[in-house]
Amino acid sequence: MNDILICKKDIGTFCSNLKEQFTVYGVKQKEEGFYVFDEIDEFSDPLKDYIPTILPPKKYLFPQQETLLRFDTQPLPDVKPVIESRKQVLFGVRPCDIHGISLLDKIFTADHDDKNYTRKREETVIIGMDCLEPCYEHALCASVGCLNVDDGYDIMMTDIGDYFYTSIKTSQGEEIVRKYSKYTGAGEEDRKRFLRLRNDREGKFENKIKTDISNLPLIFKNADNDPVWDELNDRCLGCGRCNIVCPTCYCFDVYDCMDLNMTSGERCREWDACTLKDFAVVSTGENFRSTRGQRLRHRFNRKFNYLMTRYNTSFCVGCGRCTRSCPVNIDVVETVNAVIKNNKTDDK
């Protein structure tokens, strides 16, 4: 389908119509300067200038807590998988968070398909909202190659004034636009305006990382003993906030919950955080990452080395939520640049 225009005043109706078939989640202001993804009831005035939400929209694909199994232990164990999903629309997802979801797609389909995730993903329509201006000081999307997004969404909208210039990526996107939205075809003038706005944004987004990101895995690999980790060891509180707000953190804990009858119950999973003290403790008591510095080093390496090497793409999508949420102001850009400065190998 060719690009289309959706008039801003028609967005509310579009979203209400979507509710016929989907649960619709969009961005709401929680309090001054803080935004959340939440179920949308009234959608008369869609937000456009929001900064990254407190939690990324991954919570609708990989909830903070979810049931994996339901079991009865009497008379004999009877176990059933629990895979919950619903038809849902995520409305207004920014490029950084679309990249985040695409990376989760890789993780949860690698080696073994995690149906608790993939079933939700299959039933999810993503309507993106492109960024034309840097959203806030913590963002580093352009630095990690996540400002532009070519895949991982169904529909992408760009604010060009009175209209959203709308590109349709998937057949599902086309179907819902045809079914639920008023629109007109985009003309040559609209397309030029769109391209000019897109073009103008180049240069507005600063490259904050002081090397090409493809160098980062090697730099981090050689930085195990960098003093930066000692310094962070003294500052980090080991609270796990940076993990919890990250669009690409997916580690989880699994535990059983018995019902009050003590014969039936559930097996659940819940977000876990590799910066928490007991994350790598084994039953004999050994902790393979016992210090906060080691755990934070592990977290940074996951974003810029371990997973980047395994999947050949940065696992930081540049939303800056970790920096914003850190109670002791540990800054992802400052940290990465400090590691680069101390460990940059001469170009050969």
Rule CB under 8 A: which residues touch other proteins?
A: 68-69, 71, 73, 76-77, 79, 81, 83, 107-108, 110-116, 224, 250-256, 258, 262, 265, 267, 269, 272, 274, 279-284, 286, 288-289, 294, 298, 301-302, 305-306, 309-310
Q: Is 221 helix (H, G, I), strand (E, B) or coil?
A: helix
Decide whether 72 or 174 has the Cβ nearer to other proteins: 72
Give Cβ neighbours of residue 174 (< 8 Å, ≥ 6 apart). 1, 168
Rounded-to-integer distance, Cα 5 and Cα 333, Å: 37
Handedness of CA 233, 62, 51, 36 (dihedral sign): negative
Decide whether 115 or 344 has the Cβ nearer to other proteins: 115
Minimal distance in Å, beta carbon 51 to other proteins? 28
Minimal distance in Å, beta carbon 300 to other proteins? 12
Rounded-to-integer distance, Cα 193 and Cα 165, Å: 9
Q: Which contiguous run of DSSP H or E holds residue 127?
A: strand 124-129
Decide whether 108 or 180 has the Cβ nearer to other proteins: 108
Minimal distance in Å, beta carbon 16 to other proteins? 35
Decide whether 183 or 279 has the Cβ nearer to other proteins: 279
Q: At what angle do helices 227-235 and 332-343 cross, to 10 degrees?
A: 150
Buried b (16+ CB within 10 A) or exposed e, 200-233: ebeeebeebbebebebbbebbeebeebebbeebb
Minimal distance in Å, beta carbon 125 to other proteins? 24
Decide whether 23 or 73 has the Cβ nearer to other proteins: 73
Minimal distance in Å, beta carbon 217 to other proteins? 9
